[in-house]
Structure 1
Amino acid sequence: MRLTYDDEANAAYLEIEDIAEGTAVENVVVERPGRGDIILDFDAAGRLLGVEVIGATALVRTTALDAAERL
């Protein structure tokens, strides 16, 4: 697992396993009105590959973002 954070986009990504190009075939968006969005990426077998957090500073603890790999 790996957590990355892009300061400019205010987006974090929790990669559960390596994601090759085209592996994520389904995205489920969870809207958090006024805070951001959470996008779940699934493969063709329905397994969760990763979680993207748009508006990360409002949805993820600062300690986790501080420890994340910067993009």
Structure 2
Amino acid sequence: MKLEQASEENLSILINGIADRLNLVNRSILQPEDYQLGNYQDIKELYDHIESKKQLSVYETEAFIQELANYRK
């Protein structure tokens, strides 16, 4: 999977992947259409960081959700 190229499809993959890793029950807070392609690199960096961790603490999960909220439209 090549996620280096910014596209709407790849942005959707990133957002859905993040939601999966964070085990979100309320997925409505992470809808791909709520994020702009201009923030792709920042969101990709968050995705890569989340994917590199074996396990996330509650505090880390909350921090990632808060950070993603900064990129919403």
Name the TM-score class by shorter chain: under 0.3
The structure with more radius of gyration: 1
Q: 1 or 2, which has the higher helix percentage?
A: 2
Greater share of strand residues, 1 or 2?
1
TM-score by length of 1: 0.25
Give me the TM-score of the superposition, normalised by structure 2: 0.25
